[in-house]
């Protein structure tokens, strides 16, 4: 993933005061576990105001009118996830307010990590471990095992 693009996205999220938390492959990298990824996974606070701040942040990075199609109605509805694919390149953002019934923005354990001079809100290694340990995807289980090993978690932490 292009670090310059991540830097611009994180700076815009910070400047627009978006309430968010990074999870997934980018979160692993922010915690020092190198893993390639082609997307940025973020939870956002489920409010109309926060969705508007998110759209302002994305507009600051991407010249794409499709950003306006991201709606609070979608993110606050029955399927609270939106995939935003910028017009240039294979990179995309997965934006969620909850993940099934297991994880909600309000219940995430987060930490602030600096990335190239910008504060970034990321789920903690323990929370990331919880999110990945019981999934069906083999790469998530490998990530969970690496988190457990690196940070000394027990099996069910």
> Across-strand partners of 110?
123
More confident residue, 76 or 39: 39
Q: At residue 156, does pLDDT exceed 80?
A: no
In this prediction, residue 2 carries a pLDDT of 84
**Structural domain boundaries enclosing 34:** 3-123
CB contact at 8 A, 111 and 122:
yes
Say if 147 falls within a structural domain.
no
Say if 134 falls within a structural domain.
no
Say if 79 falls within a structural domain.
yes
In this prediction, residue 1 carries a pLDDT of 65
Q: What residues have CB less than 8 Å from 142, skipping those under 6 apart? A: none
Q: In Å, what is the CA distance from 38 to each residue of 107, 112, 135?
A: 26, 22, 19
CATH number of the structural domain spanning residue 103: 3.30.460
Total domains in the fold of the chain: 1
Each residue's pLDDT tens digit, 93-138: 999 999 888 899 999 999 999 999 999 999 999 999 999 988 888 9
Say if 138 falls within a structural domain.
no
Percent of the chain scored above 70 by pLDDT? 97
Q: At residue 74, does pLDDT exceed 90?
A: no
């Amino acid at each position: 993933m292009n670090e310059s693009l991540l830097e611009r996205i994180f700076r815009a999220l910070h400047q627009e005061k978006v309430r968010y938390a990074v999870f997934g492959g980018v979160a692993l990298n922010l915690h020092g576990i190198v893993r390639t990824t082609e997307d940025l996974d973020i939870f956002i606070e489920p409010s109309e105001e926060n969705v508007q701040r998110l759209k302002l942040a994305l507009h600051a990075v991407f010249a794409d009118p499709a950003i306006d199609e991201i709606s609070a109605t979608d993110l606050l509805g029955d399927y609270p996830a939106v995939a935003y694919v910028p017009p240039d390149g294979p990179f995309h953002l997965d934006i969620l307010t909850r993940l099934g019934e297991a994880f909600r923005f309000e219940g995430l354990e987060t930490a602030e990590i600096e990335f190239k001079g910008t504060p970034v809100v990321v789920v903690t290694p323990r929370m990331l471990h919880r999110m990945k340990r019981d999934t069906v995807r083999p790469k998530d289980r490998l990530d969970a095992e690496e988190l457990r090993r690196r940070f000394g978690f027990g099996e069910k932490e």
